[in-house]
Amino acid sequence: MNRSSSSGIKLTTVIFAVIVLAVSAALSNISIAGDKDVTIEQSANE
């Protein structure tokens, strides 16, 4: 019992970490795209 519950906790932790990394990567990509848009607008205004 201890082995299965321990590995279950580890699996849950790994899944949670993967979700957190995926969300942070998605937010990072959105902010990078936003920065590119701003750069394009600034160069167009110049």
26-46: pLDDT as tens digits: 888 766 666 665 555 555 555
What's the confidence (pLDDT) of residue 17?
A: 95
Q: Which pLDDT belongs to residue 29?
A: 73
Confidence bin at 16 (pLDDT 50/70/90): very high
Mean pLDDT of 9-31: 88
Amino acid at site 6: S
**5/38: higher pLDDT:** 5
Residue 14 has pLDDT above 90, yes or no: yes
Please report, as a single letter, which amino acid is at residue 40: I
